[in-house]
Amino acid sequence: MTRGASVEFAGVSKQYGLVTALRPTSLVIAQGEFFAFLGPSGSGKSTLLGTVAGFIPPSEGRVLIEGSDVTAMPPHRRNIGMVFQNYALFPYLTVAQNIAFPLRMRRLPRGEIARRVDRALEMVRLGDFGGRMPAQLSGGQQQRVALARAAVYDPPLLLMDEPLGALDKTLREEMQEELRQFHRVVGATILYVTHDQQEAAAMADRMAIMNHGAVEQAGPPRDLYARPENSFVARFLGEANVLRVVAADPVAAGRLHLRTEEGPALLACGSPPAGIACIRPEDIAIAEAPIERENCFRGRIVDIVHVAGSIRYSVAIAANCTLSVRVRSDRRTAVLPMDAAVHVGWDAQDALVLPS
Amino acid sequence: MMGRADAVLGVAGRIGAAVLLAAFVLFLVAPVVVIVLMSFTDQLYLTFPPTRFALRWYASAWEQSRWLRAAWNSIQIGTATALASVALGTLSALAVTRGGRRWLLPFGSLVVAPMMLPHVIIAIGLYPTMLDLGLSGSYAAVVIGHTVVATPLVFTTVAAALRGYDHALELAARTLGANGWRTFRFVTLPMIAGGLLIGGIFAFAVSFDELMLALFLAGPRTETLPRLLWEHLAQSVTPTIAAVATLILAFTLLLLVAAETLRRRKAVEPPP
Ligand SMILES: Nc1ncnc2c1ncn2[C@@H]1O[C@H](COP(=O)(O)OP(=O)(O)OP(=O)(O)O)[C@@H](O)[C@H]1O
Ligand SMILES: [Mg+2]
């Protein structure tokens, strides 16, 4: 098992003329961590990864691997493994030759190369495929070859830029499981770029949410979901009912009375400045009778969506305020009818108060 | 709904196509056929149609050392031109497609410019230059002239090959431990080998058929086949000329077929 390498971004930024691809970013990733970068298209995820791989020289700042500055080191000396979205397998080499490529570049003896290639093929369960050309493999198999090729020289750091982006949903979930397994076995640090939040949450120890070339927030997936620091993170992870606050009056220690642009006034836990209030759909209770919670509103069901394991109601509680409410459901759950007059409610502590 | 207008257009289209085909046959194919047929005459002068089939004019060309020397010159100059334009064309294609500098893009148009320029203009420009350099009439002069007009072909085919695959292949090689040179040697080169070979064949063919630059830049010692043909034509049209022209035609066709075969094989499977 390899010991994973730590990675540190120290004020790394990237400027293409007038385009800012990456704003100054500082971040420390621990040895052996599975760290995901999550964000919409164009948010700078690949740019950040490129500065670690060495393809993209940062405009400012330094990148450190295991504490040593690699900012000026060419990519081939960094001893990093990288898996690309479209696999980037060499089409004119067989599977075994592809996996042998990094070993040949390291001038390992022939026997040693053969032994390691066999072991890598076994690891990704492609033992019989060594003689095939990449074009003769399915997408999932090609991805496993790419993984074997990036890992065969035991690099302490692996970079993956949307490695599962080209696969269909079922295969993607299978490969997620396999990658996690791989991470447990190999022990290398993994920097993983994706724009699929479920993928990031399912796999990563920690993740960074990126937007407009900057890290909005970093932390374990659960923390980011439970305690987003701004509305972008709140909305980007899962669903959130967002209400704009027009006035916040402290009523007790750590409790605010909020008036909102949308109409409803509510009680929430938090402290000023209060820009918005977010309530997760699953934190809202719904019933025909009034609900014993600190915040309770009357409303009308305007939409019902059934998803696996839960029902999502859209409940209009004011002229321009419709809340999304999610309740767990099984076969015995009674479904409220469309247009029903209902009550929705939540406690003050269920509402997140954020500056903006 | 198929209206009257459509029907009329359809007929007009078919007539147009027929006229084009007729023109193609009349102006492009017919002269070639006439030359080829005339080269097999047994008469002392050009006749059409030939009366009897004979190879005497091929034999006569073979016996004249001047034709042989010109053919050998053409092959040498063509080979040198192909090598030089492959080197220059590949380097410029790499710079333009992989350089990652915006100012390099107009450079691509600059490289292909000689393809648009009339050869006579290039010849007029190169002639005094070669005189100054003391290269006039030398092999180097002709090779330089031909390289100027052949490089765009290599540039175009190699640039197309380079644009035809994901740049991530090279980035992958870099992360896997290959330095710049080995990335080129083990990834870029195998990926563009087909385009490179085709470009080289085209470059050879261009040099082999080129007249204008050879007229200005070649000397008596370095005269090429097209130049010798031209000289003979100015004096008298003999069946020998038809025979030589037929040989050049056959050789060029062979090169084109080779290039086309390569291109198709490349489309089916990546180069080994
Ligand atoms: N070579 C370049 N020249 C100019 N702008 C660039 C260049 N590369 C990236 N950018 C810009 O930098 C920004 C960040 O790009 P980046 O590729 O890092 O985004 P990303 O988060 O990986 O997006 P995606 O999810 O689409 O891959 C984008 O706005 C992009 O247009
Ligand atoms: Mg990207």
Query: Judging by beta carbons within 10 Å of its beta carbon (0-12, 13-18, 19+), is residue B158 exposed, middle or buried?
Result: buried
Of ligand 1's listed atoms, the one at least distance from the Cα of A210 is 21
Q: Which residues of A181-190 are buried (b: 16+ CB within 10 A; e: fewer)?
A: ebbeebbbbb
Phi, psi for A261 (deg, rounded to 5): -60, -35
Please name which of A112, A175, A116, A118 lies closest in space to residue A141, comparing C-alpha atoms.
A175
Strands A7-16 and A255-260 turn out to be unpaired
Residue A78 contacts B, CB cutoff 8 Å: yes
User: What pTM value is reported for the model?
Assistant: 0.81
Strands A60-65 and A341-346 turn out to be unpaired
Structure tokens at B163: 């644009």
Check residue A67 and report its DSSP letter.
Answer: T
Contacts of A253 (CB under 8 A, 6+ apart): none
| Ligand closest to the CA atom of residue A13 | 1
Strands A321-328 and A310-318 turn out to be antiparallel
Whether the Cβ atoms of residue A125 and residue A117 lie closer than 8 Å to each other: no
Among partner residues A76, A81, A84, which is closest to B179 by beta-carbon distance?
Answer: A76
Looking at chain A, the whole-number percentage of residues with pLDDT higher than 90 is 55
Pairwise CB contact (< 8 Å): A90 & B187: yes
Kindly report, residue by residue over A172-216, the tens digit of the pLDDT.
888 898 899 889 988 899 999 998 888 999 999 999 999 999 999
Q: How confident is the model at residue A309 (pLDDT cuts 50, 70, 90)?
A: confident
Find where tokens 């269909």 sit.
Answer: A168
Quote the pLDDT of residue B106: 83
Radius of gyration of the CA atoms of chain B, in A: 23
Name chain B contacts of A76, Cβ cutoff 8 Å. 174-179, 183
Question: Rounded distance, CA A73 to CA A60, Å?
Answer: 15
Q: At what angle do helices A95-105 and A139-151 cross, to 10 degrees?
A: 20
Which residues are registered as beta bridge partners of A354? A276
**H/E element, A340:** none
Q: How confident is the model at residue B35 (pLDDT cuts 50, 70, 90)?
A: confident
Q: Where are the domains of chain B?
A: 64-268
Question: Rounded distance, CA B35 to CA B12, Å?
Answer: 34
The answer to which of A61-75, B99-113, B123-137 has the lowest mean pLDDT is: B99-113
Whether the Cβ atoms of residue B28 and residue B16 lie closer than 8 Å to each other: no
The answer to which of A303-312, B148-157, B172-181 has the lowest mean pLDDT is: A303-312
More confident residue, A41 or A348: A41
Quote the pLDDT of residue B272: 41
Q: How confident is the model at residue B270 (pLDDT cuts 50, 70, 90)?
A: very low
Strands A206-211 and A34-38 turn out to be parallel
Residue A204: count other Cβ atoms within 10 Å of its Cβ: 23
Question: Rounded distance, CA B191 to CA B213, Å?
Answer: 34
Q: How far is the CA of B48 from the centre of ligand 1 (A)?
A: 68
Quote the pLDDT of residue A108: 95
Quote the pLDDT of residue A1: 62
Inform me whether the pLDDT recorded for A322 exceeds 60: yes
Question: Rounded distance, CA A337 to CA A187, Å?
Answer: 52
Question: Rounded distance, CA B95 to CA B101, Å?
Answer: 9
Check residue A92 and report its DSSP letter.
Answer: T
Inform me whether the pLDDT recorded for B51 exceeds 80: no
Structure tokens at B128: 């005094």
Whether the Cβ atoms of residue A130 and residue A94 lie closer than 8 Å to each other: yes
Ligand 1 atom 4, closest CA: A16
Ligand 1 atom 2, closest CA: A16
Strands A206-211 and A341-346 turn out to be unpaired
Check residue A262 and report its DSSP letter.
Answer: T
Question: How far apart are the CA of A181 and the nearest CA of chain B, in angstroms?
Answer: 23
Inform me whether the pLDDT recorded for A146 exceeds 90: yes
Model ipTM?
Answer: 0.82
Distance from chain centroid for Cα A139: 22
Pairwise CB contact (< 8 Å): B271 & A92: yes
Question: B21 — alpha (psi -120 to 50), left (phi > 0) or beta?
Answer: alpha
The answer to which of A90-94, A276-280, B84-88 has the lowest mean pLDDT is: A276-280
Pairwise CB contact (< 8 Å): B169 & A90: yes
Q: Which sign does the torsion angle of CA B30, B36, B37, B39 carry? A: positive
**Whole-number average pLDDT of chain A:** 90
Structure tokens at A339: 């247009």
Among partner residues B168, B177, B186, which is closest to A84 by beta-carbon distance?
Answer: B168
State the number of CA atoms in the 13 A half-sphere of A143 facing the CB. Answer: 21
Tell me the average pLDDT across B51-58: 79
Inform me whether the pLDDT recorded for B268 exceeds 60: no
Which residues are registered as beta bridge partners of A190? A34, A158
Quote the pLDDT of residue B169: 95
Pairwise CB contact (< 8 Å): A75 & B171: yes
**H/E element, A245:** strand A241-252
Question: Rounded distance, CA B269 to CA A226, Å?
Answer: 52
At A8, is the secondary structure helix, strand, or coil? strand
**CATH fold of the domain at B64-268:** MetI-like fold (1.10.3720)
Inform me whether the pLDDT recorded for B271 exceeds 60: no
Whether the Cβ atoms of residue A14 and residue A56 lie closer than 8 Å to each other: yes
Number of continuous H segments (helices) and E segments (strands) in chain B: 13, 0
At A120, is the secondary structure helix, strand, or coil? helix
Delineate the domains of chain A, giving CATH numbers in brackets.
7-233 (3.40.50.300), 239-354 (2.40.50.140)
Q: How far is the CA of A231 from the centre of ligand 1 (A)?
A: 23
Pairwise CB contact (< 8 Å): B186 & A92: no
Tell me the average pLDDT across B127-156: 93
More confident residue, B242 or A51: A51
Please name which of B246, B210, B240 lies closest in space to residue B225, comparing C-alpha atoms.
B210
**Whole-number average pLDDT of chain B:** 87
Strands A34-38 and A189-194 turn out to be parallel
Ligand 1 atom 5, closest CA: A16
